Structure 1
């Protein structure tokens, strides 16, 4: 295989995988349990019992309409905000069973979160997905006889420092970064043909005093953001990367397929929708000229053409080239500055 179809990422890159299953309970659904509290009590006990049967060891039942956000961390930490529950964990070591319930409240969505544990997450991703699917089949069979779909979202990401080599970590691993659906098919993981996929990269950039000095924008927030947006889009030119976004409004970006979700926001989350199959370029920006935030997020979404039989390695190499060009334009210090890159793969479907 040509090396251009492999992405050489640092061996200290962190891998995460989690599945999120969502149901939208109707009033009829709650009435079948007499009350929301009784509903949550019965469902959570069923949830934990079936999780034990499938040896799913890091699971969370959520009935407070807060969206889970998952990140790698050396410590197991959980934080709640008004709109989110943030889970930090190391798959090699951390296990947990929690229920996040708001009493006397009918949640618009009941969510079940399954965090992958152990080593070699990418190699074992299909097996983990199959175990969660078996869980959901059993779980659905014990629900009231009311028409109800379960939306399943499988999230995988690799995160690493763009400048790992300059900081002394020179060892790399060659990733093919195969698309999820054919990867799962090859491993006999049952999944419906009708599904939605999206693959993308995010970069988080702290807006430091030194960065503003390098860009010569000491006093104008609007000039800072415009300079960053121009430098980012310029760095992607000529590299067949034309599905781009910049988020600098203090909110957590959520990237979705526009065929399934539309762009929207709340006080903490910025949902951004892209169509990987569309031929037109997309450059989306979310910032206000009078709102200076601590960090900016930059997003590069893979197109349908980037989904080769080999994988997304070629796409990722173009992304890496663009990001290094971007970093040079900003005069970032490779030995000192942290630029966290995350390669995301999502697949979702109804069952």
Structure 2
């Protein structure tokens, strides 16, 4: 097999592409001092943000001032579901547009978070253009802020999601992706990024614990689910180790996994979110487990992070091919019915950097 072929990964043609960018502004006493109260501050700034976004052709923009974490997923209909700690946005980039302020009365936010959801067609192809629009937006917004000593943290999130079992269901058409890092793609599109920007690539998979799977791994009438989780963990480690995938995690505690670069960010959990910290520069095994044999969950989350070497010189295609091979071995070991069950693979690419004050 040629090196060029190895660098490509063949993904079903009905793959879904998502991109969203967040800009975080820390709320300071100095910023709030320019307004009668923080409610007025958030209303005034959101009005300016929405007006400027319209001018910059950014058509799906949300301002979050209740410190909830945005989570973005594809859906044929537009929904926004708030939980105690998260705001989950479901939307179709081809059709849905919005401008919304998500706030809480008499609450002082730690951050004002602006969320830009990509719209239109060919999201991945146009990702650099979308980022340039957001950069232009922020360059014009910052002089309008009454406080000049503010920095903005920018995060660019991009996902490809598809069913690993698409071919078994008759979906034979695929497209060969020669995956590249965001920085390489943006450089080719003349979208500048700071030298010190952080980056992270990883794959997440949610495995539903079906009745069939539980029956195969658990004795009847038991309240100890340790054998189930231990068998899943052992099979996951064996499958990934065989493909030299060393940065992995298994979460089965009912929390939403959130991946961060542990080299740059403090990693802590919350009541809803399980933080997973990987350092892509470390070549040793990094295995993170979070499960409790006393509690049965509906879904087990698996995460496989890419190392620095995986992201260079066309390595992402080889990395995702190894991930797919590992997942296919895992699901074969578990005896999943590929023609009836669905296993959604989400390939994540993130970058982050700070835009300094004027």
Q: Same fold (TM over 0.5)?
A: yes
Q: Distance in 2 between matches of 1:331 and 1:344?
A: 27
1:9 aligns with 2:6: no
For residues 221 and 54 of structure 1, the distance between their equivalents in structure 2, rounded to whole angstroms, comes to 53
Select which of 274, 286, 289 maps to 1:285: 289
List aligned pairs for 1:126-275, cutoff 5 A: 126-218=128-220, 219=222, 220-275=224-279
CA distance in 2, matches of 1:212, 1:264: 31
State the Cα distance separating 1:244 from its structure 2 match. 0.3
Alignment equivalent of 1:124, drawn from 120, 126, 129: 126
Aligned residues: 351
Alpha-carbon distance in 2 for matches of 1:306, 1:9: 18
Q: Counterparts of 1:317 and 1:17 in 2: how far apart (Å)?
A: 22
**How far off is 1:260 after superposition?**
1.9
Gaps of at least 5 residues in structure 2 are: none
Stretch moving more, 335-344 or 24-33: 24-33
| 1:217 CA drift (Å) | 4.8
CA distance in 2, matches of 1:215, 1:13: 32
Q: What residue is the counterpart of 2:34 in the other structure?
A: 32
SS in 1 for 2:168: coil
Residue 258 of structure 1 and its aligned partner are, at CA, apart by 0.8
Contact 2:132 2:191 in 1 (8 A): yes
TM-score (norm 1): 0.98
Distance between the aligned counterparts of 1:200 and 1:211, measured in 2? Answer: 26
Match of 1:315 in 2: 319
Unaligned 5+ runs, structure 1: none
- Alpha-carbon deviation of 1:158? 0.5
Q: Per-residue displacement from partner, 1:158-192 (whole Å, max 9, x unpaired)?
A: 01111000001010011111000111011110211
Q: CA deviation at 1:216?
A: 4.2
Match in the other structure for 1:62: 64
- Write the distance in 1 (CA, Å) between the matches of 2:105 and 2:190: 41
* SS of residue in 2 equivalent to 1:312: helix
Runs of 4+ with deviation above 3 angstroms: none
Do the aligned partners of 1:215 and 1:227 also contact (CA within 8 Å) in 2? yes
Q: 1:303 aligns with which of 298, 304, 307?
A: 307
CA contact (8 A) 1:242 1:282 kept: yes
Name the CA distance, whole Å, in 1 between partners of 2:219 and 2:47: 56
Task: Check if 1:43 corresponds to 2:45.
Answer: yes
Alpha-carbon distance, 1:226 to partner: 1.0
How far residue 89 of structure 1 moved from its aligned partner, in angstroms, is 0.7
Residue in 2 that maps onto 1:77: 79
Q: Output the CA distance in 1 between the equivalents of 2:164 and 2:217.
A: 20
